[in-house]
């Protein structure tokens, strides 16, 4: 996986990323009254963010919720997953950076992924 931003041809850069999100369920009982059997819920994700010189940012991300849990009976029809395990989620994002000068943003002094040096 690349560790440096890549040029997209128009002065824009794209930044690939991946990670894992965790959720720890502390309740012993679910909302429907059944016992909570799974207290650690994990969701690995990967995505790409496109950053333009005009401070617009576009993102595409895929998350794989609960890949370790069997959803044979509990998954709604039409949900995507691999076999009977996990559920895939796809996300699109659009954002615009405000504040600071272009020089500060290019120097990495603002806190967005687009301004950060890898």
pTM summary value: 0.64
Structure tokens at 20: 């894992």
pLDDT digits (tens, 9 = 90+) for 70-80: 776 555 556 67
Q: Return the SS3 of 39.
A: coil
Which pLDDT score is estimated for 18?
94
Three-state DSSP class for residue 10:
coil
Mean pLDDT in residue range 102-117: 54
Question: Nearest CA to 68 among 84, 79, 47, 80?
Answer: 84
Distance, CA of 82 to CA of 14 (rounded, Å): 28
Q: Identify whether 74 is part of a domain.
A: yes
Task: State the residue range of the domain holding 101.
Answer: 6-106
Residue 114 lies in a domain: no
**Mean pLDDT computed over 82-86:** 77
Q: Is residue 117 assigned to a domain? A: no
pLDDT in tens, 21-71: 998 888 888 788 888 888 888 899 999 999 888 888 999 999 988 887 777
Question: Is beta strand 85-96 parallel, antiparallel or unpaired with respect to 56-70?
Answer: antiparallel
Residue 1, in any domain of the structure: no
């Amino acid at each position: 996986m690349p560790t440096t931003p890549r040029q997209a041809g128009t002065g824009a850069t794209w930044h690939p990323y991946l990670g894992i999100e965790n959720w720890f369920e502390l309740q012993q009982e679910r909302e429907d009254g059944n016992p909570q059997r799974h207290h650690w819920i994990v969701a690995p994700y990967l995505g790409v963010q496109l950053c333009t010189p005009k401070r617009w940012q576009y993102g595409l991300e895929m998350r794989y919720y609960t890949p370790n849990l069997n959803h044979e009976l509990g998954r709604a029809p039409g949900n995507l997953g691999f076999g009977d395990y996990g559920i895939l989620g796809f996300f699109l994002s659009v954002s615009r950076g405000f504040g600071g000068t272009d020089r500060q943003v290019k120097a990495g002094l603002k806190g967005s992924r687009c301004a950060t040096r890898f």
